[in-house]
């Protein structure tokens, strides 16, 4: 019933994660109402980002320069590499602040169900980077999911030969979290990793 | 931390209804990964829709032609006008099927709180259209919210002088709805509007 131009816009918006059919239609109407303020700037931002944003050839972070701003930053410790699943996880760690090392984006997680093996992830480049470190540390910051933990196990096996120090993120009670609402696994992990005051 | 190009894309995506900060970031990463398949086609669809989609000068529907495809369709009864709040409501009625009249999009609802008065909505053009009908019907299909019902009251007062027949959508049990989960207002309305079998 809608015109093909509008229908195609809605179909493309629907592909975005987080937008279902109804919200894609609402988003299209929102855009049409804000042609100059949002719709055309968004089109422009898409074209410019598509032309300029590329994965960093060292760490896999997205940036307009290669190596990326983090890999190129002389203030950041080149001997500490934090391994994450996706660029979104890198952003989350950067937002949290405090980390002054570098990153390595795997581009996914090992998953037998989805047929994702080590050769599908940026693991060979990680091993090469780890091997080049002298007295370095690799922090495995994979997600605390089954796939994330499987990948961390695989990586710790693969990286042991490089002689690098290995660590992983601590499990525990989230800051602001109430014990009564925590799952048993997290609570047990927090208890066994308790620290003297 | 992210590049300005990526940051701007995320800021614009955040403006879309249904996308919060996190989902806007995820959407941006999704798009970068699907540059050729989604990102550039979306930019193209935005530019083309922005250039070609306009509100119908008769009914307010969005289309590339004016009058819109519904107003221009000789098969659709010009003597029946269904009044809706937004184009999304028109689409919902079209998806439901069965309606063969025309529409009138108000562009909002009367709201004292938001300072939206009759002059902010397409009410003058509705009265003019209703006046031009001979033996016509205006269906008030405003939302069943306080603002929607206020607007329907206002419109029924304003349209009485035009001599047009007025009707509104039926209230009742949604198809597939369970009585136990219905609010009392709907159940009372369904009971008082009961129909002989």
Q: What is the predicted pLDDT for the residue at B1?
A: 59
* CA pseudo-torsion sign A188, A192, A194, A196: positive
**Helix, strand, coil % in chain A, rounded to nearest 5:** 50, 15, 40
Distance CA(A42)–CA(A35), nearest Å, equals 10
Instruction: Please provide the average confidence, as pLDDT, over all residues in chain B.
Output: 92
Per-residue pLDDT of chain A (197 residues; tens, 9 = 90+): 578 999 999 999 999 998 999 999 999 999 999 999 999 999 999 999 999 999 999 999 999 999 999 999 999 999 999 999 999 999 999 988 889 999 999 999 999 899 999 999 999 999 999 999 988 999 999 998 899 999 999 999 999 999 999 998 888 888 888 888 888 888 888 888 887 77
> Could you say which of B30, B39, B46 has the minimum Cβ distance to residue A9?
B46
Q: pLDDT above 90 covers what percent of chain B?
A: 74
Distance CA(B152)–CA(B168), nearest Å, equals 8
> CA distances (Å), B3 to each of B16, B25, B121, in order?
21, 13, 42
Question: B59 vs A175, which has greater pLDDT?
Answer: B59
Q: Does residue B196 have a pLDDT over 80?
A: no
Structure tokens at A81: 């590499």
pLDDT digits (tens, 9 = 90+) for B85-103: 999 999 999 988 889 999 9
> CA distances (Å), A139 to each of A11, A103, B61, in order?
40, 9, 56
Q: Where do the domains of chain A lie, and which CATH numbers do they carry?
A: 4-52 (1.10.8.420), 75-168 (3.40.1360.10)
Geometric angle at alpha carbon A9, from A7 and A13, rounded to 5°:
115
Q: Indicate the pTM of the whole model.
A: 0.81
Query: Best residue in A7, A45, A108 to probe B by mutation, most B CBs within 10 Å?
Result: A45
Query: Best residue in B18, B67, B68, B120 to probe A by mutation, most A CBs within 10 Å?
Result: B18
> Could you say which of B6, B63, B88 has the minimum Cβ distance to residue A3?
B63
Q: What is the predicted pLDDT for the residue at A1?
A: 59
> Residue B103: in which H helix or E strand, if any?
strand B101-105
User: Nearest-CA distance from B50 to chain A in Å?
Assistant: 6
Distance CA(B176)–CA(A107), nearest Å, equals 44
Q: Does residue B16 have a pLDDT over 90?
A: yes
> Could you say which of B1, B39, B45 has the minimum Cβ distance to residue A91?
B1
Radius of gyration, alpha carbons of chain A: 21
Distance CA(A193)–CA(A170), nearest Å, equals 8
Measured between CA atoms, the residue of chain B closest to residue A8 is: B45
CA B39 to chain centre: 28
Q: Does residue B43 have a pLDDT over 80?
A: yes
Distance CA(B68)–CA(B70), nearest Å, equals 5
Distance CA(B96)–CA(B13), nearest Å, equals 30
Measured between CA atoms, the residue of chain B closest to residue A32 is: B50
Q: What is the predicted pLDDT for the residue at A52?
A: 95
């Amino acid at each position: 019933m809608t015109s093909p131009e509008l229908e195609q816009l809605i179909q493309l918006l629907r592909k975005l994660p987080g937008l279902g059919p109804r919200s894609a239609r609402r988003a299209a109407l929102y855009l049409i109402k804000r042609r100059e303020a949002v719709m055309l700037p968004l089109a422009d931002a898409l074209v410019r980002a598509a032309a300029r944003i590329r994965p960093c050839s060292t760490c896999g972070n997205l940036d307009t320069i290669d190596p990326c701003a983090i890999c190129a930053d002389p203030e950041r410790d080149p001997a500490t590499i934090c391994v994450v699943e996706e660029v979104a996880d890198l952003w989350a760690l950067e937002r949290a602040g405090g980390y002054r090392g570098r990153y390595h984006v795997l581009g996914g997680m090992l998953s037998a169900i989805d047929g994702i093996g080590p050769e599908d992830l940026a693991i060979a480049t990680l091993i090469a980077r780890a091997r080049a470190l002298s007295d370095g540390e690799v922090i495995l910051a994979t997600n605390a999911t089954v796939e994330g933990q499987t990948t961390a196990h695989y990586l710790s096996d693969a990286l042991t030969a490089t002689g690098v120090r290995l660590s992983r993120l601590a499990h525990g009670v989230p800051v602001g979290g109430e014990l009564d609402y925590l799952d048993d696994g997290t609570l047990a992990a927090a208890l066994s990793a308790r620290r003297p005051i």
